[in-house]
Amino acid sequence: METSKPRNPGPQGPAAEPLSRRQVIAGAGKGALGVAALSALGGLGMPAIARAAGNHGYGKRSYKIGYLGPDTGPFSPEGGSLKRGTELGLEVINKAGGIAGHPIQMLKQDTASSAVKAATIAKKYLQRDKVDMLFGTIAFDEENVVNKLATSAKVPFVTLEAGPWVPWCGGPTVILGETSQQLLEPLIPFMSKKFGKKWALVGSDFGFPREYFKVAKKIMAKEGVQVLTEQYGPLGTTDWSSVIGKLKAVEPDVILGGVVGGDSIAFVKAAASLGLIPKAQLTGVTLQAEFYPAMGHAIDGLYSSVRYTEELQTPENEQLKKLYKAKYGNVPVPLVATTAYYSFNFIKAAIEQAKSFDPEAVIAAFRSGKVKAQTVVSDQPLSVDAASLAVNYPMYICQIKPGGVWSIVDKAGVVPPGISC
């Protein structure tokens, strides 16, 4: 197997700017951390974030959430989807009365796709704003640094992007996105049987794609899949011709894509123009609904494994599609937007089980294994696993149809998260 030379594994975001907090009340109101990110973690202890009286119970106040998302930087396409789903879900829950009659108040800040800035924002949310919960982020490096801060502060952290491959055992981090295991367990057997067992891997050069591929290789070994080459491009790559040349040279049946963010658009366009696809079948997390308008017909006919498709016939999904398209236009509903949208149902369920806004009581509720919530992906409520704080999701193999419809061709059933403590 040929492997390209590793590059810098961490995303390089812009330098942290002075924070200008924007408060919003809608409706009714194992990546490696750099020295700077570790420095930003320092000095956080419980005395620094002691909360006012009234947390035991609901008190006479709103529930305060600190949102972190990449509005700028390489992960801004996913960040935009995260933000839209969050805004829509927040509007819906507050119009419905919030949590036990209390509105949710959300503070919002751009992480600029930087773990350093995410650490700075999270620390200020905890120490200055005294939020009850941290929420969001896209890249694992950001998730990891926010998890460390949330663990120290004993404040719940809800993360929503797909692809986690390890749990943060014993911590307060709730994983509502589908895991790498859930994405890959149905996909690899389906694609290898349909198209062949000679595969190539291509990803963005940072923590998540490399770990995503580690999970994939374990499943590939069981399925007799041969990995011919493994290639990476640094975040921000615009010229993929060299990598594509190496992929074409090995003549794979299937290419598992771990190219993410806006880079995935450049990669797919180059792969199509240089004749790599559709001769080889591209699949994996590179194929995202929010990128379809830019990728267009280049990905028509390809296959991917998903938790969500607009074809799902649930009342909640019909409501989401109607609201999303009315607010944002007739565009595909992105995966991470759906998770953000229904995440407030899980948050509400945990708080009402705890009968308190107290962060430690809410964490305990999530860890009870009794938190269930309605989502857009199933007619039945789904539950948060007591140990991993992840969700057992039904998964689907879809073929991408013209116009950006992810059409179900195989139902994999409920797939466990595959992460344990």
Domain ranges of the chain: 2-8+180-307+396-415, 22-178+317-393
Q: CA 320 from chain center: how many Å?
A: 18
CATH number of 2-8+180-307+396-415: 3.40.50.2300
Q: What are the pLDDT tens digits along the chain (421 aa)? A: 444 433 333 333 333 333 332 333 333 333 344 444 444 455 454 333 445 444 457 888 999 999 999 999 988 988 999 999 999 999 999 999 999 999 999 999 999 999 999 999 999 999 999 999 999 998 888 999 999 999 999 999 999 988 778 778 888 999 999 999 999 999 999 999 999 999 999 999 988 899 999 999 999 999 999 999 999 999 899 999 999 999 999 999 999 999 998 899 999 999 999 999 999 999 999 998 888 888 878 999 999 999 999 999 999 999 999 999 999 998 889 999 999 999 999 999 999 999 999 999 999 999 999 999 999 999 999 999 998 999 999 999 999 999 888 999 999 999 999 988 7
**Alpha-carbon span 267 to 241, nearest angstrom:** 9
Q: What share of the chain is helix, strand, coil (3-state, %, to 5)?
A: 40, 20, 40
- CATH fold match for the domains 2-8+180-307+396-415 and 22-178+317-393: yes
Q: Note the pTM of the prediction, 2 decimals.
A: 0.83
Alpha helices (H) along 42-75: none
**Alpha-carbon span 275 to 286, nearest angstrom:** 17
CATH of region 22-178+317-393, choose from 3.40.50.2000, 3.40.390.10, 3.40.50.2300, 3.40.30.10: 3.40.50.2300
The DSSP letter of residue 285 is: T
